[in-house]
Chain A
Amino acid sequence: MDVILAAAGDAFTWQALLAIVIGTWAGIVIGGLPGLGSVVGLTIFLPFTFGLDVITSMALLIGVYCGSVYGGSITAILINTPGTPQSAATTFDGYPMTQQGRVDEALGWATFASFFGGVLSCVLLIFCAPQLAKFAVNFGSIEVFALVCLAMLCIVGISRGSLLKGLLCGMMGFFFSMVGSDPITGADRFTFGTQALSSGLDLIPVVVGAFALSEIFVRFSARDEEATVIPEARLRFPPLGEIGRRLIELMRGSFIGSFVGALPGTGAAAAAFISYATAQKLSPRRAQLGKGEPDGIIASESSNNAVTGSAFIPTLALGIPGDVVTAMMMGAMVIHGITPGVRLMADQAQTVYALFVVLIIVNVVMLILSKPSIGLFRYLFKLPLGFVMAGIVMFSFIGAASVRGNPLDLVVAALTGILAYALRRGGYPLAPLVIGMVLGPALESSLRRGLLISRGDFLSFFTHSGIATTLFVLIGLFLVWTLWSSFMQWRAKLARRRQTSTRVIE
């Protein structure tokens, strides 16, 4: 209890509260601008945190993260263009409500459902993370190796694009993490005689290149598209009686989001679609879904915001990020001296609880700031794209240059940006690349330590302990499931092609 009170004291400083307000507001705006998601938002704000203390820095970044997930829903409702992929499912009912002249009601439901999902997942995080951390103490090198393999496989299997492309990107991420000095023998690897490469590649410049710079290149290719006109809108919160009638939908969406968010590799977009699909089966008003029914907005928004809290469960307790955003948050935590993983809850309990308190405050602030932010979008969309893009270029450069002060980091960011643009054009998912880079060191050290423990016998990994065996069985099952579903998709595609060619012949 003393720890929680001390943590609350850390979170309620004026610096942290100011950081939350600025971060959340900026997150709402960035999330609402199509194409600029949570990662670009974090890229912009990361350099600001270098001079701040741990809690204030994390408060700023958590504010940007949660705000951007909510912000994506505003443009999804107003102009049928989700600001972030997480809000894609919100368009199904949000935009029809706008067309019916119920835009104020739609925005109200989106805001309240986001708040509800966010707070519920924070509560779950407070209860689950310490339990998971206690259990994670049983994890040795071999168990960690199996867990990292399982997490990577989940991320690859669930990412958009083909399994081959996902795996290739995952291997690229692993490779990036292996550049520099070998952590065990100290030998240089892939440095090509360059002193600057001995310290390895840092995560932040790679993320800056892969997401922020490549986004500029993508937007440049589409710069001829016409500007969008935003309709006049105000936010109207739903009445209490209406909230009571839809409480089950709110709870269901929030629990689905919390559960899905805690699984590695799934993320908020998957949670929103799963929740929407569930609502289509279970909602008492399911016949109206897709035609402007608030239950659709509730399903999408409560679940995608619930992910923001629960995604921290594996990140903080196991050191395994759930998606790119939490991978980047993990990188930021490391910069500020917090090392997520098994020992974190024991060694830095006060800091972790302070982060939990910050998450709850962010959701409350998001609710308060939603009203003034919505009016702003009419003016934001009149801003020439060039100024926004030039600003992102500058923030990307500042972020990459100031992480370690290594001039090579800027070159790495630029090269990664060009590579990521090509990969995006080729339909390769970028999430496995970034998460591979985060998990690479854990994979390598756990494998090599495991081999030392088992005296070079890799087969004994499978029977090392109950946890290891369970994890390897799960890996096997997941592999079979992924290959089976790929095979079924291929068969269905082939059947469709045959059907089309038969029709053409007829």
Chain B
Amino acid sequence: MLASLTHPRLWLALALLAAGIGLSVVAWNGPDGAMLVPRVVLAIWCAMALSLVIVEALRRAPPLKPSLSPLPLLMGAVLVAAVTVDTLGFLLPALVLVALTLWLFRVRRPLPLLVGTVLIGGGLWFLFHHVLLIRLPAMMNSGVI
């Protein structure tokens, strides 16, 4: 039972329930006409999430081994890169993200890391932004990078 209560599946169901309740509060405080369907949808969301919380709490889940994976680092890097594109433009965050992805996926010798970063990060940016003229966010309006 204790193992079930600490299992990530239960925490995920709880998080989804909390999100559903929070959004329902916003929906019920909004205008009646516009929020009619979202209220119904969120009510079903909350009912399903609550049922899942009960199911996951009652389930005999096998205990998970704690591990120190660098996955949150990769997730954080993707998120930070996505947020900073608006201010730094596309190229710089993309280069850093590509280099970090290669490094985390164990491409660690300097030459392949550098060539991979320049070709995948810089090369694809150049192809889309300058050759195909599919404009990606730039650091300055109409700027080269």
CA distance A168 to B42 in the complex (A): 10
Known: A168-B49, A189-B35, A402-B128. A385 touches B105 (CB 8 A): yes
0/1 string, A426-465, CB within 8 A of B gives 1: 1100000000000000011001100000000000000000
* Chain A residue contacts of B135, Cβ below 8 A: 402, 405
Report the separation of the CA atoms of residues A279 and B105 in the bound assembly, to the nearest whole angstrom: 42
Q: Mark A26-49, 1 if CB is under 8 A from B, else 0.
A: 000000000000000000000110
A389 to B71, CA, bound (A): 14
B48 close to chain A: CB less than 8 A: yes
Q: A175-B41, A187-B30 are in contact. Are A407 and B105 (CB under 8 A)?
A: no
Q: Within the assembled complex, what's the spacing in Å between the Cα atoms of A422 and B68? A: 17
CB distance from B130 to the nearest CB of A (A): 13
| Number of B residues, CB within 8 Å of A | 61
Q: Does B3 contact A (CB under 8 A)?
A: no
Residue B134 lies at the interface, judged by CB distance under 8 Å to chain A: yes
Identify A168's interface contact among B26, B48, B71, B132, CB under 8 A. Answer: B48
Q: Give the most central of A175, A384, A397, A418: most B CB within 10 Å.
A: A397
Asked whether, in the complex, the Cβ of B37 is within 8 Å of the Cβ of A414, the reply is: no
> B75–A421 contact, CB under 8 A?
yes
- Tell me if B133 and A51 are in contact (CB < 8 A): yes
Contacts of B136 in A (CB 8 A): 398, 401-402
Contacts of B34 in A (CB 8 A): 182, 184-185, 187, 189
- Are the CB atoms of B98 and A175 closer together than 8 Å? no
By secondary structure, the A interface counts as helix
Query: How many A residues have CB within 8 A of the partner chain?
Result: 60
Known interface pairs A405-B135, A426-B9. Does A413 touch B82 (Cβ–Cβ under 8 Å)?
yes
Which residues of chain A have C-beta atoms less than 8 A from B74's C-beta?
Answer: 216-217, 220
**Does B36 reach chain A (CB closer than 8 Å)?**
yes
What is the distance, in angstroms, from A410's C-beta to the closest C-beta of chain B? 4
A418–B79 contact, CB under 8 A? yes
- Distance from B61 Cβ to chain A, minimum over Cβ atoms (Å): 11
B48 in contact with A171 (CB, 8 Å): yes
Q: With A48-B132, A425-B8 as given contacts, are A190 and B106 in contact (CB-CB < 8 Å)?
A: no
Taking Cβ atoms with an 8 Å cutoff, the residues of A that contact B are 47-48, 50-51, 162, 164-165, 167-168, 171-172, 174-175, 178, 182, 184-185, 187, 189-190, 213, 216-217, 220-221, 223, 384-387, 389-391, 393-395, 397-398, 400-402, 405, 407, 410-411, 413-415, 417-418, 421-423, 425-427, 443-444, 447-448
3 closest A-B pairs by CB: A386-B105, A182-B34, A407-B86
